[in-house]
Amino acid sequence: MVHHRHRRHGLQASHHCALRRRATTPSLLQVFLLILCLWLPVLDNGAGLVLACGPGRGGGRRPGLRKLTPLVFKQHVPNVSENTLPASGISEGRVSRHDSRFRDLVPNYNADIIFKDEEGTGADRLMTQRCKEKLNTLAISVMNQWPGVKLRVTEGWDEEGKHATDSLHYEGRAVDVTTSDRDRSKYGMLARLAVEAGFDWVYYESRSHIHCSVKSESSSTVKSGGCFPGRSLVRTEDGSTKRLDQVELGERIAAVDSHGDVVYSEVIAFLDRSVTERRQFVRLTTESGRVLTLTPAHLVPVEGRSTVFAGRVRPGDKILVRDPADENELRHRLRWDEVVDSRLILEEGIYAPLTSEGTVVVDDVVASCYAIVDNQQLVHLAFLPYRVWSGVKTFVERRVLGAEDHRYTDVRQDEDSRTEQEGILWYASFLYWVSSYVTPSNMVYQ
């Protein structure tokens, strides 16, 4: 841990290192490679992010052979409830043919899969893209395991209400499968093959089929990154609070600097922004009643563990909150507060402000501005070119228009369409892509 000799105002020395890694301080080479590789897509004659479709790290290696163990009846992997974060997540609501989300379902016409389609509507062929990819992978595994045998789907997307209220079949995120020969002695191994194929939850549910499901498209790491819901509150310099969906670029909101002091830092970008999109969030509730809502891949300072992905924070962990005793003070004290509850919820509207400090105080709880890569210092350094560019741009604008000129505010709001940005910031997209190639897998959110 990095120790400071002096206690800063309102924050103990142990707080000072909350956003620093104890044993994973990035080397200059790591940072150089991360920033250098950021520009590879630009230099590749327009190939851009198409490179992301490559095999990735270790793509050319031959996987080692290992013995697969069949699942036993009523066993599920992982060993948690289906509607939890480590598994497939919560239900996001039924999808009907008239729902806008229906267009997200894709048909599966894989000739190596037999679809029962007892309804005669083709509904069993409809599923999310993630579910389709895992199912096609499983089909190949089945043919390799048992030559001449195919994968058989008995139930896919359900529009007739045959399942439980929160069933993922209603969203095209679940399938029930057997083998084409209906040999029940194979079903334990079939379940294991489904786990190996990448399904997020596999359940040897019945003697007659295996149940498999996947996470929602909105909860995928690449798409969601790290965000807060629009209703979350931040504090401004005058001591008032403001909803995140009302925050504009250039505003100064509460953050925590490298010394552990609460400061007011300028919002220089939104790493992600979508007004109407619904996503799954983790809601952390502390002993004092503070509630922080953010996406699972978002980083949060945790006592004794530096920064941790929100999805891995457990009851009993302690996170940094604003001391409730200083409600009327502009300079706030921070303290560790124990998490008493962690659960998945569904929220609408996503916002990920990037401050100059790389941190933000949301709903009076300290959080990072970053996600996906579990190293606050490394990611903050990787964003250095963007922060420098943003600072130079702001300086030039103010020198030309005048710091106190009313025209500056108007031009800033008109020109900076980033405040109306939808989706992930281009620089963040590049870094997400680069991280899959140059960052150790144990540091990347899975």
Annotated binding residues for Ca(2+), written as ranges, equal 118-119, 124, 154-155, 158
CA angle 284, 287, 293 (to 5 degrees): 15
CB 352 within 8 Å of CB 273: yes
Cβ(35)–Cβ(382) below 8 Å: yes
Cα 373 to its chain centre, rounded Å, is 10
H helix or E strand, kind and range, residue 341:
strand 334-355
CB contact at 8 A, 109 and 125: yes
Extract the runs of DSSP E, i.e. beta strands, from 49-148: 76-77, 106-107, 113-115, 126-127
The strand pair at 113-115 and 151-155 is best described as parallel
Q: For residue 115, what are the contacts with CB-CB under 8 A and spacing of at least 6?
A: 108, 124, 125, 152, 153, 156
Q: Which residues contact 119 (CB under 8 A, 6 or more apart)?
A: 160
Distance CA 85, CA 312 (A): 9
Determine phi and psi for 101, rounding to 5 degrees.
Answer: -75, -10
Contact 300, 292 (CB under 8 A): yes
Could you tell me which residues are annotated as the binding site?
Answer: 118-119, 124, 154-155, 158, 169, 176, 211
Annotated binding-site members for Zn(2+): 169, 176, 211
